[in-house]
Amino acid sequence: MEARNGSVGIVFGESTTDHFTFIVNPRNELPRFGEFLVVRNREGDEVLALLKSIRNLNWLMEAGRGSYDYVEKTVNVFSRGILDKSEEILATAKVLGVLRTRDGEFLTKPAPNRVPIKPGERVYLARDEDLERIFANGHLRIGKLIARSNIEVRLDANRLVSRHFAVLAVTGAGKSNTIAVLTKELVSNVNATVVILDPHGEYQKLSWPGARVNPIKATIDPGRIRLSEFATLLGIAENASLQRRFLGLVYRTVREEMRREGKVVGGMPFIHAMEDKIEEWIRIYENTDDKIIHYYDEKGIETPRKIQARDLEALIRLKDYLSELRANFGEFISPVNVLSEIRPGMVNVIDLSGMEEEQMITLASFVLRGILKNRIDYVKGSRTGDRNLVREVSEAYPALTKPVLVIVEEAHIFAPRGEKNPATLWLGKIAREGRKFGVGLGIVSQRPKKLDDDILSQTNTKIILKLVEPNDQRYVQQASEQISEDLLSDIASLGVGEAVIVGYAITIPAMVKIYSFERDFKGHYGGGDIDIVEEWLEGKEEDVSEEEAIAALPL
């Protein structure tokens, strides 16, 4: 086997099909944690391995051999040369798979290793050219190997998008930078249509040379959303069944009346019309003997109903909800359909900052539902030759005639563990069915343990930056069959901007230094931390004392 700069060690002791230990060659370069290695198995196949631990020991000063005084005496008695000769460096490696068969066939995706590594075999650093063949197959440049900074790592765009992905990390570890790099590569290299749900406005200033970014103002058209979404928007509790029932009666009645009068059903006029209808029904209760109102049911049939005292309370509370929505969030109410603002081949950033969680969830549900349903209609229409269906989508939402990737920042808001809301429903549907209709999903969170486990488990590529909390680590491991105990320890040791990438979009798991969006791509986004000290110190030179301020006052 051709060596890369000679043997770095020899296998000794017990070895298995997936792990082996070797004693490091002191006359060659010291391999580093995370380095890729090659060694022969018992059948002569060349096996690729990853260095998982490395430790230094001295046979004259083994643990348990004596006290501090014993060790100090050993150091004083023996010369430095003798001590050095008693040192050994031991390393443990995890087998990743067969890289090259005994017949010389190179396997771009290493095959499972089914026989143990033979003790006495020499261990080498993997060749650069072999690692390049493994990691260079992909559309998207994501970074470089931590242990081999000259080797670029790429991800397969088809596999990343169609089978969904997650970016997980503690705050400040580099999630936003990672998303900026991915979206830039997707749009620049494969003309992707990307939609980002941006709760904190981090990506409103996203740019790079030649950038194609489309900022979209977040607006909600109450005439287009579902009743469940409307109830969430207003903050009506799940168990407030009477309030939700009257919301449905008012909603359907106003829609039908506006439709019959030829009015546009949506925007702030729709909210005003709902308030007017509630006031009309309250007056009927207060000023008539029969207290009969008329509403339109699901089929558009006018139906009478007698108002009871408890109904009056529900109507008054519902009117309060609508008034609060109009007063506090009127700027987000608009007849504009956010879906029609999406542009193909661009990063479409929907700015949700300034919204309460209920409003964010409502808009997210509308966007997710609209994207999936229109993609289903377009794909089915194309397959069955239904020109009307194809034309409807093409004319209303031209961007949705192409596959779409939806990236959800702060995904734990929209898909909380153990809770259900309208957004969770559609995120789950996209996670399960999206690939069949060209809708990809990327979820981003610094609180993995608070994410819906079903949705997280269906992200088949995971880009995991630093995770310190053991519960987060375990939760992520439970949601991914590709994450071993070895990888868990790697995740805790990562630095800022470093990630463990596992899953469908990468050939083998790798520890990667993610490219810096600003330094490597000359890009910019608004997700950095505020320099608190700099802002505190800003203008300090102009500060004046109280005495100086008083002296400056006119007499």
pLDDT given for residue 3 in this prediction = 46
Span 347-356, average pLDDT:
93
Instruction: Record the tokens describing residue 58, joined without a space.
Output: 């001295």
Span 370-391, average pLDDT:
95
Contact 42, 27 (CB under 8 A): no
Q: Is the pLDDT of residue 62 over 80?
A: no
Q: Give the separation between CA 273 and CA 293, rounded to whole angstroms.
A: 16
> pTM for this one?
0.84
The DSSP secondary-structure symbol of 435 reads G
Q: Is the pLDDT of residue 544 over 80?
A: no
Q: Give the separation between CA 502 and CA 11, rounded to whole angstroms.
A: 27
pLDDT given for residue 83 in this prediction = 61
Average pLDDT score, the chain: 88
pLDDT given for residue 555 in this prediction = 56
Could you tell me which residue, 420 or 436, shows the higher pLDDT? Answer: 436
Q: Give the separation between CA 555 and CA 552, rounded to whole angstroms.
A: 9
pLDDT given for residue 263 in this prediction = 78
Span 534-553, average pLDDT:
68
How many CB atoms lie under 10 A from the CB of residue 105? 11
- In the chain the domains, ranked by start, together with CATH numbers, are 9-126 (no CATH), 153-219+336-515 (3.40.50.300), 227-332 (no CATH)
Q: Predicted confidence band at 44 (pLDDT cuts at 50, 70, 90)?
A: very high
Q: What distance, in Å, lies between the first and last C-alpha atoms of the chain?
A: 93
3-state secondary structure of 224: coil
pLDDT given for residue 111 in this prediction = 94
The DSSP secondary-structure symbol of 41 reads B
For 477-488, how does the pLDDT look when each residue is reduced to its tens digit (9 = 90+)? 777 766 766 667
Instruction: Record the tokens describing residue 7, joined without a space.
Output: 């043997």
The rounded percent of the chain whose pLDDT value lies above 70 is 89
Longest CA span, the chain? 110
pLDDT given for residue 82 in this prediction = 66
The rounded percent of the chain whose pLDDT value lies above 90 is 57
Q: Give the separation between CA 173 and CA 529, rounded to whole angstroms.
A: 11
CA distances to 13, 19, 98, 405, 410 from 442, in Å: 44, 33, 31, 7, 11
| Radius of gyration for the chain, computed over Cα atoms and rounded to the nearest angstrom | 31
Q: Give the separation between CA 270 and CA 335, rounded to whole angstroms.
A: 9
Strand partners, 439: 404
pLDDT given for residue 86 in this prediction = 65
Q: In whole angstroms, what separates CA 496 from the centre of its chain?
A: 17
Phi, psi of 58 (to 5 degrees): -130, 125
pLDDT given for residue 331 in this prediction = 86
How many CB atoms lie under 10 A from the CB of residue 549? 10
pLDDT given for residue 327 in this prediction = 86
Could you tell me which residue, 99 or 81, shows the higher pLDDT? Answer: 99
Q: Which of 207, 233, 169, 202 is nearest to 364 (CA)?
A: 233
Q: Predicted confidence band at 2 (pLDDT cuts at 50, 70, 90)?
A: very low
Q: Give the separation between CA 499 and CA 466, rounded to whole angstroms.
A: 7
pLDDT given for residue 249 in this prediction = 93
CB proximity list for 409: less than 8 A, separation 6 or greater: 179, 196, 197, 198, 199, 200, 202, 203, 444
Q: In whole angstroms, what separates CA 199 from the centre of its chain?
A: 13
Q: Is the pLDDT of residue 95 over 90?
A: yes
Instruction: Record the tokens describing residue 343, joined without a space.
Output: 């542009």
Contact 314, 246 (CB under 8 A): yes
Contact 326, 191 (CB under 8 A): no
Q: Predicted confidence band at 382 (pLDDT cuts at 50, 70, 90)?
A: very high
For 281-327, how does the pLDDT look when each residue is reduced to its tens digit (9 = 90+)? 999 988 988 889 998 888 888 899 998 888 898 999 999 999 988 88
CB proximity list for 41: less than 8 A, separation 6 or greater: 47, 98, 113, 115, 116, 117, 118
For 125-140, how does the pLDDT look when each residue is reduced to its tens digit (9 = 90+)? 999 999 999 998 899 9
Element (H, E) at 187: helix 175-190
For 197-238, how does the pLDDT look when each residue is reduced to its tens digit (9 = 90+)? 999 999 989 999 999 999 999 998 888 888 888 888 888 888
Amino acid sitting at position 387: R
pLDDT given for residue 4 in this prediction = 53
Contact 207, 342 (CB under 8 A): no
Span 175-190, average pLDDT:
96
- What residue ranges in 410-537 does DSSP mark as E strands? 439-445, 461-464, 498-503, 510-514
For 21-41, how does the pLDDT look when each residue is reduced to its tens digit (9 = 90+)? 999 998 888 888 889 999 999
- What residue ranges in 342-403 does DSSP mark as E strands? 347-351
